[in-house]
């Protein structure tokens, strides 16, 4: 995220600050690591690398906030697993000692910005803080690791989630349901790297379904999905002669904007797709009135 | 010798008045079977030295006539009042000797059988010294044990000649009828307003495709008109007291608000302004606030649904015989019965919790269950027996049936296979394909289970008319939000192809689960339940119709999923078992029951908790009392008591201790 | 243990009294069947019949051990077949607790065991007996018998 989508990071920080949360920096944090590729190679080392990040947060005595489904998937699962499984905890702590003064104690929790906003702050809590609303129709993409597996994540049922839709409703965004809404974007799990064709097929099907409902933009809660939606749309246009131009917006960007963040920081000008989109005419009107 | 004779005379006199134990020990050679390994004479010699032993002999075959006579003579001549025979097993000849001493006036429980054959001589052939030593230990243990044996009476408990049947579905009806035919008055209690249960809700039964209403009609009419059967509908069990042979049951009868002189003309219903979906019809038709569940319902008396009634009084005024009476109140009736048959049936599993199938959710009205399908097909349905999609009323061009919904599913907690769904799905698929040859009918299965005569044929003929069978458990039913079209996502595991089946209608073959309300009913009956929630049978092979409590019998699906033929057979068995003590007039029971020393009892209630047949009640002061009729003599109450206040007769801590010290004390006597 | 004695012999010398509580249903049934089939086992095993293994309490077990038994075991019906529904399971829990007590007291927990058997299969009883000897062998060769105050 800091690499490719600094705007998402900045939006998130803005939102959190406005809500009254303090963001502490995690010194020496590494890649989560990825819940698909890394884990399938060596589960123990994956747990060790993740646990190290968790230890950094434990030392700061603060919950970890993730903005990405992948990071959430990895860290939340490792955190929960090591809290419950003594045997693995001992194995991991043994290895952590080799990396430095790290010991997993299981004192913190891992959060995702979508559920912090969706449940902890909640739609009404958000409504009190936002300064402007927009009018738009969005295709909401939940992604994979946020809700699944339902029993481990304990957020909401992965069969019919409404957490993001209810949240964005107060911002004036209507979620349009499309066919097979809850499938993967095609990028994660190492699929894109390993079997690009399969990844493209999945994505193509998804874009077709999204295109059928003609949303104003696509809303995601994961920078990896964000990347996929942007670059793969481009690929489809080039290779398959499609004509997609849907802007892709991360939840943090949307919320930051509604909280009053300057448009240039929200980062829409760096969009690969839908460059002209700027949250609709309504807000332009409001700006005029303000001026 | 002279001295001994004197002694005998003295002891003869003594034994008549006092409780002094006079033990006779008899060691059997059993030909070579025992004597070949164990030195029987040595054992008898040792036994003679034990306290209270007045006679110790060994003999070739104790079970023979002369052998048995030895026992009897010892009682007559020496005043022996407890016998120990060291021979074969208790099952084999323990009874022989017990009967023999009973014939001489000694309570048969005063015989102690010691097994030195199966437990000793036959298994230690190569270690004769050790075998003899062990036999001596076992005999001493037997002697010790016999010392404190008490009389145990066999009581004849007269039974009440009447039976209670809970539930008037096919099983309950069959059981009631069979009981009544044996001359036993029956109280039949049904919680709904009509009898017949789930069978009457079916459209056709497999494999003959007969109409179940027609099949069951003679039985329902027979039961309703039988002079010995008293039928209570709209009624539930409030309380059950007593034990086998003599139960006292409180029945609560909810008011019908329509008197018995109702002629079933239906004028009230026709003019009732209120219309609500019929529960009996699974919502496939409407009923009024005053109604009869279906045309052939028995009893034919109408019933008023107080909750939905707006009390316009139209029915009251219009009834030609003034049968409608809003002032009727609930009644409680107490009946005395000797046996109880539980035939409370089952409920259809509610697939709402299987989220990927979206049953009951908005937009998924075309996902229904098999019971709803049966009602849709029936002659009185809203759709006029046509199959129409609930969402738009059109005839579906593709129907997908999903098997094992709620069965064989560890995620929702039901591991078992209901065993009936494959049969009824195939039956319904056949009917659907016959009615709509142009509609695609597909069944998604994991395994097709159609055992029994005629069912494989049904399965094959259904395939032949074009019903498709796909081996795969569908992962989800998806809906296109734009068009509302449903698709069933399933992998055909035989060809390893993932499929998306178009489905205008999806029919879920839902499992059979324990009926609603079984929890409270089960605790009133105090019977055990299986881990799946059905009522547990006594022995799965040898006694599937007896519950965990004597006098309470199980009939039909309450004991586990089964189809109609199995339910009928099951009910017949329950009726026969229930009738036996009533026809005979009494129950004979050995009073091998525990006693409670109230000086030691601290009222902790542990014995009550641990008793599996719930045979320990509390009296008005809250102290535990043993229900001697319900007790099964297991003795589990004993170790649960912290003060050893409760002791099982002839198995007391004291008596067991005597046996234990003999068996464990002293290693090998020969040492 | 002297050099010329194998563990089995060593154990056989020290063990001459094992009290087995067998239930009146499957327990004693399986012992009977074993007898009928002439299956041989160690004469140290002495059987006491009880109504149900659920009836055997800590009192009975301790009495046996205190009065000369080298080990105690309960043999009941196989799971699901208890004539009194759950007596064998209750006995199982009880024996488990007793094992814990023994361990807390510093003894080996192999001197008290719970088994199941099947009335028609004598080998289940004999198999249980052999298992007792196995466990005792391990416990005794490591720590000695109860009488030694292991």
Give the model confidence (pLDDT) of C77-135 as tens digits: 888 778 788 888 899 999 999 999 988 888 888 889 999 888 888 888 888 888 988 88
Closest by alpha carbon to B533, among B520, B518, B552, B545? B518
Note the pTM of the prediction, 2 decimals: 0.81
**What is d(CA B467, CA B403) in angstroms, rounded to the nearest whole number?**
14
Domains of chain C, CATH where assigned: 7-143 (3.40.50)
| Range of lowest pLDDT (A101-105, A274-278, B96-100) | A274-278
Give the model confidence (pLDDT) of A21-75 as tens digits: 999 988 888 888 888 888 888 889 999 999 999 999 999 999 999 999 989 999 9
How confident is the prediction for chain C on average, in pLDDT?
84
The pLDDT value recorded for residue C144 is 67
The pLDDT value recorded for residue B541 is 84
- Specify the CATH number for the domain of residue B372: 3.50.50.60
Residue B299: cis peptide before it, omega within 30 degrees of 0: yes
3-state secondary structure of A117: helix
CB A69 within 8 A of CB A144: yes
Please list every residue in chain B whose beta carbon sits closer than 8 Å to the beta carbon of residue C67: 660-661, 664-665
Picking from C41, C64, C90, the nearest residue to B664 by CB comes out as C64
CB contact under 8 A, A159 and B358: yes
Q: Clarify whether residues B381 and B509 are in a common domain.
A: yes
Is pLDDT above 50 for B670?
Answer: no
> If you write DSSP's letter for every residue of B210-239 in order, what string do you get?
B-HHHHHHHHHHHHHH-TTEEEE-SEEEEE
**Axis-axis angle for helices B65-78, B95-103 (nearest 10):** 40
Exposed/middle/buried for residue B7 (C-beta within 10 Å: 0-12, 13-18, 19+): exposed
Picking from C31, C41, C52, the nearest residue to B635 by CB comes out as C52
Is pLDDT above 90 for C66?
Answer: no
Domains of chain A, CATH where assigned: 6-111 (1.20.1050.140), 122-273 (3.40.50.11810)
pLDDT confidence tier of residue B1, bands split at 50, 70 and 90: very low
Closest by alpha carbon to B199, among B503, B513, B565? B565
The pLDDT value recorded for residue B467 is 96
The pLDDT value recorded for residue B669 is 33
Q: Clarify whether residues B508 and B523 are in a common domain.
A: no
First vs last Cα of chain B: how many Å apart?
33
Q: Is C48 on the interface with B (CB under 8 A)?
A: yes
Asked whether residue B263 is assigned to any structural domain, the reply reads no
Q: Which residues pair with B26 in a beta bridge?
A: B57, B85
pLDDT confidence tier of residue B614, bands split at 50, 70 and 90: confident
Domain boundary among B492, B513, B534: B513
| Range of lowest pLDDT (A257-266, B127-136, B591-600) | A257-266
Please list every residue in chain A whose beta carbon sits closer than 8 Å to the beta carbon of residue B355: 157, 159-160
- Specify the CATH number for the domain of residue B636: 3.30.70.20
Q: Clarify whether residues B409 and B547 are in a common domain.
A: no
Q: Clarify whether residues B354 and B500 are in a common domain.
A: yes
The pLDDT value recorded for residue B385 is 87
Asked whether residue B313 is assigned to any structural domain, the reply reads no
pLDDT confidence tier of residue A291, bands split at 50, 70 and 90: low
Q: Residue B608 is part of which domain span?
A: 591-649
The pLDDT value recorded for residue B671 is 28
The pLDDT value recorded for residue B5 is 38
The structure tokens listed for B42 are 């040595």
The pLDDT value recorded for residue B183 is 95
Evaluate the CA torsion angle C99, C104, C105, C109 in order and state its sign: positive
Asked whether residue B294 is assigned to any structural domain, the reply reads no
Is pLDDT above 90 for B344?
Answer: yes
Q: Where are the beta strands (DSSP E) in B105-207?
A: 111-115, 154-158, 163-166, 186-189
Please list every residue in chain C whose beta carbon sits closer than 8 Å to the beta carbon of residue B666: 68
CB contact under 8 A, C51 and B633: yes
What number of CA atoms fall less than 13 Å from residue C23's CA on the CB side?
33
Q: Is C50 on the interface with B (CB under 8 A)?
A: yes
Q: Clarify whether residues B16 and B76 are in a common domain.
A: yes
* Mean pLDDT (whole number) for B181-209: 93
Q: Clarify whether residues B446 and B549 are in a common domain.
A: no
Is pLDDT above 50 for B187?
Answer: yes
Q: Clarify whether residues B211 and B334 are in a common domain.
A: yes
Give the model confidence (pLDDT) of A147-190 as tens digits: 988 888 888 888 889 999 999 999 999 999 998 888 888 887 77
Domain boundary among B537, B561, B584: B584
The pLDDT value recorded for residue C1 is 46
**Axis-axis angle for helices A86-99, A43-60 (nearest 10):** 80
The pLDDT value recorded for residue A138 is 93
Give the model confidence (pLDDT) of B463-521 as tens digits: 999 999 999 999 999 999 888 899 999 999 999 999 999 999 999 999 999 999 899 99
> If you write DSSP's letter for every residue of C109-127 in order, what string do you get?
GGGEEEEEEBTTBHHHHHH
The pLDDT value recorded for residue B17 is 41
pLDDT confidence tier of residue C44, bands split at 50, 70 and 90: confident
**What is d(CA A137, CA A134) in angstroms, rounded to the nearest whole number?**
10
Q: Is A238 on the interface with B (CB under 8 A)?
A: no
Chain C residues 18-47 with CB within 8 Å of chain B: 19, 24, 28-29, 31-32, 34-36, 38-41, 43, 46-47
The pLDDT value recorded for residue A167 is 92
Q: Clarify whether residues B340 and B379 are in a common domain.
A: no
The pLDDT value recorded for residue B14 is 38
Asked whether residue B577 is assigned to any structural domain, the reply reads yes
Please list every residue in chain B whose beta carbon sits closer than 8 Å to the beta carbon of residue A212: 482
Domain boundary among B465, B491, B513: B513
* Mean pLDDT (whole number) for B332-358: 95
Give the model confidence (pLDDT) of B346-389 as tens digits: 999 999 999 999 999 999 999 999 999 999 998 877 788 899 99
Asked whether residue B275 is assigned to any structural domain, the reply reads no
> If you write DSSP's letter for every residue of B359-382 in order, what string do you get?
TTSTT-TTEEEHHHHHHHHSTTST
Q: Which residue has the tokens 């949360």?
A: A21
Determine the distance in angstroms separating the CA of C17 from the nearest CA of chain B, rounded to an integer.
6
| Closest residue of chain B to C122, computed from CA coordinates | B118
The pLDDT value recorded for residue B354 is 93
Total number of domains in chain B: 4
Q: Clarify whether residues B482 and B464 are in a common domain.
A: yes
Q: Clarify whether residues B603 and B568 are in a common domain.
A: no
**What is d(CA B409, CA B353) in angstroms, rounded to the nearest whole number?**
12
**What is d(CA A148, CA A160) in angstroms, rounded to the nearest whole number?**
12
Neighbouring CB atoms inside 10 A of B217's CB total: 15
The pLDDT value recorded for residue B382 is 76
CB contact under 8 A, C64 and B639: no
The pLDDT value recorded for residue B167 is 96
Q: Clarify whether residues B61 and B168 are in a common domain.
A: no
Asked whether residue B380 is assigned to any structural domain, the reply reads yes
Picking from B115, B651, B660, the nearest residue to C64 by CB comes out as B660
Please list every residue in chain B whose beta carbon sits closer than 8 Å to the beta carbon of residue A180: 478
Give the model confidence (pLDDT) of A197-256 as tens digits: 888 889 999 999 999 999 999 999 999 899 999 988 988 888 888 888 899 999 999 999
Give the model confidence (pLDDT) of B395-414 as tens digits: 999 999 999 999 999 989 89
Q: Clarify whether residues B112 and B241 are in a common domain.
A: no
Q: How many residues does chain B have?
A: 671
* Mean pLDDT (whole number) for B13-24: 64
**What is d(CA B635, CA B611) in angstroms, rounded to the nearest whole number?**
9
How confident is the prediction for chain B on average, in pLDDT?
90
* Mean pLDDT (whole number) for B223-233: 95
Give the model confidence (pLDDT) of B411-464 as tens digits: 898 999 999 999 999 999 999 999 999 999 999 999 999 999 999 999 999 999
């Amino acid at each position: 995220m800091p690499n490719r989508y600094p705007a998402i990071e900045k939006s998130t920080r803005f939102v959190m600050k406005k809500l009254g949360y303090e963001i502490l920096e995690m010194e020496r944090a590494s890649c989560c690591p990825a819940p698909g590729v890394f884990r399938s190679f060596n589960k123990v080392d994956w747990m060790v690398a993740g646990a190290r990040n968790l230890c950094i947060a434990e030392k700061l005595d603060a919950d970890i906030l993730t903005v990405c489904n992948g990071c959430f998937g990895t860290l939340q699962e490792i955190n929960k697993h090591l809290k419950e499984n003594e045997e693995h905890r001992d194995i991991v702590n043994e290895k952590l000692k080799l990396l430095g003064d790290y010991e997993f104690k299981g004192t913190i929790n891992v959060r995702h910005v979508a559920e912090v906003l969706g449940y902890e702050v909640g739609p009404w809590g958000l409504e009190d803080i936002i300064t402007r609303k927009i009018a738009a129709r969005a295709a909401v993409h939940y992604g994979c690791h946020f809700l699944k597996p339902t029993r481990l994540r304990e957020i909401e049922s992965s069969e019919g989630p409404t957490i993001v839709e209810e949240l964005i409703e107060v911002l004036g965004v209507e979620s349009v349901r499309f066919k097979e809404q809850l499938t993967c974007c095609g990028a994660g799990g190492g699929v894109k790297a390993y079997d690009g064709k399969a990844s493209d097929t999945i994505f193509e099907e998804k874009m077709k379904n999204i295109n059928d409902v003609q949303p104003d933009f696509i809303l995601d809660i994961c920078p990896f999905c964000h990347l996929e939606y942007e670059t793969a749309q481009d690929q489809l246009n080039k290779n398959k002669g499609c004509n997609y131009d849907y802007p892709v917006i991360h939840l943090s960007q949307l919320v930051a904007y509604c909280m009053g963040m300057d448009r240039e920081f929200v980062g829409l000008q760096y969009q690969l797709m839908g460059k002209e989109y700027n949250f609709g005419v309504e807000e332009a009107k409001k700006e005029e009135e303000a001026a | 010798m002279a001295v001994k004779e004197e002694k005998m005379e003295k002891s003869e006199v003594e034994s008549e008045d006092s409780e002094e134990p006079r033990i006779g020990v008899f060691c059997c050679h059993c030909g070579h079977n025992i004597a070949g390994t164990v030195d029987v004479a040595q054992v008898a010699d040792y036994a003679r030295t034990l306290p209270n032993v007045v006679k110790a002999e060994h003999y070739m075959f104790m079970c023979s006539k002369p052998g048995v006579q030895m026992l009897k003579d010892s009682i007559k001549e020496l005043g022996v009042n407890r016998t120990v025979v060291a021979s074969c097993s208790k099952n084999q000849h323990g009874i022989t000797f017990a009967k023999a001493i009973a014939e001489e006036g000694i309570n048969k429980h005063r015989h102690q059988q010691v097994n030195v054959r199966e437990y000793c001589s036959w298994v230690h052939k190569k270690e004769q010294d050790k075998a003899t030593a062990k036999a001596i230990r076992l005999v001493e243990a037997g002697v010790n044990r016999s010392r404190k044996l008490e009389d145990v009476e066999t009581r004849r408990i007269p039974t009440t000649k009447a039976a209670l049947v809970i539930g008037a579905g096919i099983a309950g009806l069959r059981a009631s009828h069979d009981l009544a035919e044996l001359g036993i008055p029956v109280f039949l209690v049904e919680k709904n307003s009509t009898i017949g249960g789930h069978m009457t809700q079916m459209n056709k039964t497999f494999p003959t495709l007969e109409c179940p209403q027609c099949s069951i009609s003679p039985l329902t009419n027979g039961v309703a008109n039988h002079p010995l059967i008293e039928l209570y509908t709209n009624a539930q069990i409030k309380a059950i007291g007593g034990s086998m042979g003599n139960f006292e049951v409180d029945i609560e009868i909810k008011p019908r608000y329509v008197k018995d002189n109702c002629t079933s003309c239906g004028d009230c219903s026709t003019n009732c302004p209120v219309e609500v979906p019929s529960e009996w019809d699974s919502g496939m038709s409407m009923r009024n606030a005053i109604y009869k569940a279906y045309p052939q319902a028995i009893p034919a008396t109408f019933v008023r649904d107080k909750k939905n009634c707006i009390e316009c009084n139209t029915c009251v005024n219009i009834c030609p015989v003034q049968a409608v009476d809003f002032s009727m109140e609930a009644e409680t009736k107490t009946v005395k019965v000797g046996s109880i048959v539980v035939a409370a049936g089952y409920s259809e599993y509610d697939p709402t919790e299987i989220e990927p199938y979206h049953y009951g959710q908005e937009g998924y009205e075309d996902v229904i269950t098999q019971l709803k399908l049966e009602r849709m097909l029936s002659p009185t349905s809203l759709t006029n027996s046509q199959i129409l999609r609930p969402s738009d009323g059109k005839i579906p061009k593709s129907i997908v049936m999903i098997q094992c919904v709620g069965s064989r599913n560890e995620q929702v907690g039901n591991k078992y296979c209901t065993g009936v769904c494959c049969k009824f799905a195939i039956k319904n698929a056949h009917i659907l394909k016959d009615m709509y040859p142009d509609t695609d009918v597909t069944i998604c299965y994991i395994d097709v289970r159609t055992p029994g005569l005629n069912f494989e044929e049904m399965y094959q003929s259904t395939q032949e008319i074009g019903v498709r069978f796909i081996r795969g458990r569908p992962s989800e039913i998806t809906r296109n939000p734009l068009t509302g079209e449903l698709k069933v996502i399933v992998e055909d595991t035989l060809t390893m192809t993932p499929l998306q089946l178009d489905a205008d209608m999806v029919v879920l073959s839902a499992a059979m689960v324990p009926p609603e309300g079984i929890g409270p009913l089960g605790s009133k009956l105090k019977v055990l339940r299986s881990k799946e929630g059905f009522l547990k049978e006594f022995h799965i092979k040898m006694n599937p119709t007896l519950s965990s409590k004597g006098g309470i019998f199980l009939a039909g699906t309450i004991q586990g999923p089964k189809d109609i033929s199995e339910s009928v057979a099951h009910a017949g068995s329950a009726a026969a078992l229930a009738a036996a003590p009533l026809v005979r007039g009494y129950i004979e029971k050995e009073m091998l029951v525990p006693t409670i020393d109230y000086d030691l009892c601290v009222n902790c209630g542990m014995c009550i908790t641990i008793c599996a047949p719930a045979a320990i009640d509390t009296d008005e002061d809250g102290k535990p009392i043993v229900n001697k009729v319900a007790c099964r003599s297991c003795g589990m109450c004993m170790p649960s008591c912290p003060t050893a206040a409760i002791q099982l007769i002839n198995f007391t801590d004291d008596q067991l201790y005597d046996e234990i010290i003999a068996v464990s004390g002293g290693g090998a006597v020969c040492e | 243990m002297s050099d010329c004695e194998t563990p089995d012999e060593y154990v056989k010398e020290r063990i001459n009294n094992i009290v087995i509580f067998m239930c009146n249903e499957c327990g004693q049934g399986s012992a009977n069947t074993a007898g009928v089939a002439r299956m041989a086992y160690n004469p140290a095993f002495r059987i006491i019949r009880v109504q149900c293994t659920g009836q055997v309490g800590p009192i009975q077990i301790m009495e046996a051990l205190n009065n000369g038994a080298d080990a105690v075991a309960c043999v009941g019906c196989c799971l699901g077949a208890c004539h009194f529904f759950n007596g064998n399971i209750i006995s199982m829990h009880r024996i488990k607790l007793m094992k814990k007590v023994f361990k807390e007291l510093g003894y080996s927990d192999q001197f008290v065991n719970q088994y199941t058997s099947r009335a028609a299969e004598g080998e289940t009883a004999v198999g249980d007996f052999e298992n007792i000897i196995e466990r005792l062998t391990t416990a005794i060769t490591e720590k000695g018998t109860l009488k030694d105050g292991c």
